[in-house]
Structure 1
């Protein structure tokens, strides 16, 4: 454990490393907190749960579309030319949404869609920069783990920051402040020497790219429903919080989800796992679905926060295990693209979940809203069971995650990345 912390300190002492990590985390705050900030703003404006869920879903879908497109543009034109203009466009669109409000809904939806579409792909950019900044493979591997832990901290602190802004000022101010911070974070990254000097290597791929792998398609089908579970909790927690103390309770519930994922990911990543990752993933997804069920009990605030933390414990292990399977099934030369598709699929699923949860909560209240994540987790497990042969089939190339021919950095198994939930 001490050796691990020493490795983190060694990385942070590397030139530009702290600036890049901090700038990326701050720059991703608007994206990481968008669903929560949008829901709180819509409710403050007197909008319905259905409208709040729909707008959050619009943002998520637009973000899922924009990330691979902007990532391709970064590869073609470099980071500064794409990341900063994108951050400015996203911030201006979200500020327009905050100033004009939710009427008319078409205008509000357009502003939210533009904000999601132009959210800069800072996380992928940081992972591309680590090899140039750290040089040594062992440091790069440690940096990936540190980056993942930092993201979980962001997803824990982010909801509290949103509710703090709402408490001190307003939901409108929270949207503006978070997006100003996002632009400053992106500016810090793209003005750094590593970002300005970075250029992508030439890359050639089949027109379907990673999606020509049946195993990858099966995995994406399962994780679509993991995303649905995540998105539905965001909306289901709102009526519970309204009845038990308001926005502060909502922030604590969302922070507890991130904290649970942080703890679960840290424990999962602390040991080496044997056996086929496909089989292990089925067990982890089953546990994830089971841990969502106690949320339907809706006890007092303290107990509910603990249950929210429990519901997040198996999320990070599921995603970390999925990254190994992605590496095993991605066609040669498409691992980065395959990882992007997994992130996009979870994002789309979360958007669908927020859109579904709005009408469900409107009709049946928080109880039925909290039943939705467990149901989505069960469907994810069924998909994994139904596609077991496809996922377990030989890939046709002997590749392990620690030394993939598709990964020039020879990255070890990602420990946790629910920051990649976005």
Structure 2
């Protein structure tokens, strides 16, 4: 199973781009927890921490597609590195000033979220210029989805370790410095410096003028809701079965399941229509959420959490293929950034929705929310099946002399364009 991944990682620049992107995304991945730890260390309330984290999240949701569009227009180095520096400076101001005066705290946190560089979308736009086979790009998307699960597991551990060794303030600054170094590693690489977006049609909607992309975003809004709601339900369950340790076990189970599912999915070359495959994967995702409502003991519940996470990374990896297919020419980074934003907004909505549900019906009804959200996502995919199955802008035909000594041309992913 590792053969497909090793093939990707052996490609020139691939390992560096993946590692640099993960390191560069570290501040964004742990932002909510970092804000919570810092506000608590400053003597602030959980309500204040939640408000500041929400300000960061909203600004980040706005900033990702905007910065993604700028990357498509002006290239990666001109946007990614200045954005990373601006985000780090804003975070440092927050760490030095603290929670008073409050307007400055909110402004600095919002600026940090707004300028968080769209490294995710940038990496996915680069894969086709680094890899020379479409199957390898599919594997890279799956590896990317798996790496996200690793990041969201390792990131909080690094943050809490840094905070315990030094302070929450030092951890906040340190992780942002590390993030800038990760972004720098990406933007000085030859693929990032050479990448140019395709010529684009001037349109104020940008990537959102694609019906196929809009259909995909609508579906993934509900997948995000499922992820946000399951975290709240897990807190309610853990409160009755052992507290924070149990909650950590359930979240680790979800992440481990996603890691397994993504690893297996990416190791295989998939044929057929990706829109049909995505419907099948989302259906399995919804089905695997339902057993959580049985709420057995801690060991059984942890195993069910592993099962619930298995199809998340494959769904995300398959969605990447469809984003690349349906993004209008010249908007690939913006399109991938819209997927990130939609998933984040969905998770926030799911968190907000699950809270009242859990208060009214307990953890049982809380665990019913992710299954219902995934089912709605499936209904959206079924209703928009023709739109998603319709050809997108089409692949770009690019020369591939390394793989073809006769200099024949082969279809390549559109995001490879002229890099």
Q: 1:67 and 2:64 equivalent?
A: yes
CA RMSD after TM alignment: 4.0
- The equivalent position to 1:338 in structure 2, one of 332, 335, 338, is 335
Contact kept in structure 2, 1:326 and 1:338, CA below 8 Å: yes
Q: 1:283 and 2:280 equivalent?
A: yes
Contact kept in structure 2, 1:56 and 1:351, CA below 8 Å: no
1:116-151: per-residue Cα shift (whole Å, max 9, x none)?
11111223333455566x574579736555444433
Which residue does 2:4 correspond to in 1? 4
User: 5+ unaligned residues in a row in structure 2: which ranges?
Assistant: 398-409
In the alignment, the residues of structure 2 paired with residue 113 and residue 84 of structure 1 have an alpha-carbon distance, to the nearest angstrom, of: 18
Which residue does 1:157 correspond to in 2? 154
Which residue does 2:213 correspond to in 1? 216
In the alignment, the residues of structure 1 paired with residue 113 and residue 416 of structure 2 have an alpha-carbon distance, to the nearest angstrom, of: 30
Q: 1:178 and 2:186 equivalent?
A: no
Q: Secondary structure at the match of 2:414?
A: coil
Superposition TM-score, scaled by structure 1 size: 0.77
Q: Secondary structure at the match of 1:119?
A: coil
In the alignment, the residues of structure 2 paired with residue 237 and residue 272 of structure 1 have an alpha-carbon distance, to the nearest angstrom, of: 35
Which residue does 2:91 correspond to in 1? 94
In the alignment, the residues of structure 2 paired with residue 17 and residue 337 of structure 1 have an alpha-carbon distance, to the nearest angstrom, of: 21
Q: 1:374 and 2:382 equivalent?
A: no
Distance 1:348 1:104, change over 3 A: farther
Shift of residue 70, structure 1, vs aligned partner: 1.8
In the alignment, the residues of structure 2 paired with residue 388 and residue 131 of structure 1 have an alpha-carbon distance, to the nearest angstrom, of: 26
- The equivalent position to 2:380 in structure 1, one of 373, 383, 406, is 383
Q: Secondary structure at the match of 2:416?
A: coil
Contact kept in structure 2, 1:277 and 1:324, CA below 8 Å: yes
Superposition TM-score, scaled by structure 2 size: 0.77
Number of aligned residues: 404
Which residue does 1:270 correspond to in 2? 267
Which residue does 1:408 correspond to in 2? 416
In the alignment, the residues of structure 1 paired with residue 355 and residue 101 of structure 2 have an alpha-carbon distance, to the nearest angstrom, of: 19
In the alignment, the residues of structure 1 paired with residue 173 and residue 362 of structure 2 have an alpha-carbon distance, to the nearest angstrom, of: 30
In the alignment, the residues of structure 2 paired with residue 361 and residue 343 of structure 1 have an alpha-carbon distance, to the nearest angstrom, of: 27
Q: 1:307 and 2:304 equivalent?
A: yes
Distance 1:199 1:252, change over 3 A: same
Q: Secondary structure at the match of 1:200?
A: coil
1:270-327: per-residue Cα shift (whole Å, max 9, x none)?
3344554333333322221232234445555444433332222111222223334444
Please give the residue correspondences for 1:343-362 in structure 2 after superposition, counting only pairs within 5 Å: 343-358=340-355, 360=357
1:362-421: per-residue Cα shift (whole Å, max 9, x none)?
6666555444322322222232333345445x44877699946734369xxxxxxxxxxx
